[in-house]
Structure 1
Amino acid sequence: MDTHPALRYAAFALGSLWALPMTAVGLVLGCGALALGARVSFSDHALLFSQVRFPGRGALTLGQVILHTGRSLDESAKTYHCAAFGGNECVRIGSHERAHVYQYMALGVLFLPLYFLHGGIHHSNRFEQAADRYALTGRGWWPYNWFL
């Protein structure tokens, strides 16, 4: 059963509003990154700051802002499981980060405490597992087995 487009737009607007406090934090960091040479665009339902200079490589999502050290979200990366245990299964970084955007839109400011409660940046974190699942299949961005 497909939802009516008006309901999808309303849910997107409400989710964007709910994620706004974290989006504001991302905007502040992104604007600082611009001063250091980052580029800004729109991708994967988020404002993307690419070529951000922070330690390591990868991406960080804050609300509807993605901070990425690379040039494009079309780059691939190993899934958290493969990075931890070996293997070659890769995902498009943008699809993985889009799952986190949706998670923020559903959970708002509760996302970060729940994310760290589940282990932070780790292969066993259900938020990362769900983001990899979504990046692989286009489904299953919700980190719990109930509700969606």
Structure 2
Amino acid sequence: MAVSIVIVSHSARLAEGVAELAEQMSMGEVTIAVAGGTDDGSVGTSLDKVIAALQKASNPEGTLVLLDLGSAVMVTEMALEQLDPSERQNIIISTAPLVEGAVLAAVEASAGSTLAEVAEAADNGHEMPKGKQEREP
């Protein structure tokens, strides 16, 4: 079993899209759960959705959580407090950029890497070039 990934976003469509891309890159070898949007389908975060995603992704190898914006961190931290200590033991909240981090994490997890290695790979998303653009002064 591979390290799993949870995507927390203010947008359900964004969370699903990032998960779709990461799943493609990991060739379906990694469990990726999403918590996007509020319970009524609007933009925001849902404590219940985050808890459900964390429980769905829970496994002995660990879970890496990737987030989009600030309050997603707060809601995820609140969700972790709601879990039993045994459930939150192997969960890392990543500071990696959402898309790049999710892709890199999924690829690393699909290779059978440890939670620490998957988290480190996601963090490398900070360094991924997005192309070089020349700007005039």
TM over 0.5: no
What is the TM-score when the length of structure 2 is the normalising length? 0.31
Q: Which has the higher contact order (CA 8 A, sep 6+)?
A: 2
What is the TM-score when the length of structure 1 is the normalising length? 0.29
